[in-house]
Amino acid sequence: MILIEFLLYELNSVDGHKNSAESKLKKMMHGQLHKKSNRKLYNKLDKHDITLIEAMNKNMLLDKIILYFKILRIRMKISYHAFLRKLTVQELFYKSILKTYNQRKCDKLIEDPYPIN
């Protein structure tokens, strides 16, 4: 995962192609500048402040992309475990829930699952 983060930051990429994040970053900056209150503040900023804002936008965008890759990794791991057991992902979840329920019931952690009122 560290390698993917490094590549995303160094390549300035959102999809694996170099500088593919530039258009999204420009849209983010453009959207921030179109608000009237922000336009007045932007005119008062110097180059250093603008660079800091652009860096913050880049970090926010790439953090979203990294989160996407982390979720994708978890989904692949779940799919692989389902494949090893020759089940669908839904079947894997259902059987895991049922196994946990039966195990807790045998350990007397679940007293009466359907109480009568």
What does the pLDDT look like over 1-29, one tens digit per residue? Answer: 788 888 888 888 888 889 888 988 988 88
Q: pLDDT grade, residue 33 (50/70/90)? A: confident
pLDDT of residue 117: 64
- Top pLDDT among 34 and 71 is at 71
Summarize pLDDT for 88-112 with one digit per residue, the tens. 999 999 999 999 988 988 888 887 7
Is 32 in the same domain as 9? yes
Is 90 in the same domain as 78? no
Q: pLDDT grade, residue 35 (50/70/90)? A: confident
Is 74 in the same domain as 57? yes
Q: Domain span at residue 91? A: 86-117
Distance CA 11, CA 17 (A): 7
Is 17 in the same domain as 41? yes
Domain count of the fold of the chain: 2
> Does residue 39 carry a pLDDT above 80?
no
- Phi-psi region at 85: left, alpha or beta (left = phi > 0; alpha = psi -120 to 50): alpha
Distance CA 33, CA 92 (A): 48
Whole-model pTM?
0.70
Distance CA 84, CA 107 (A): 28
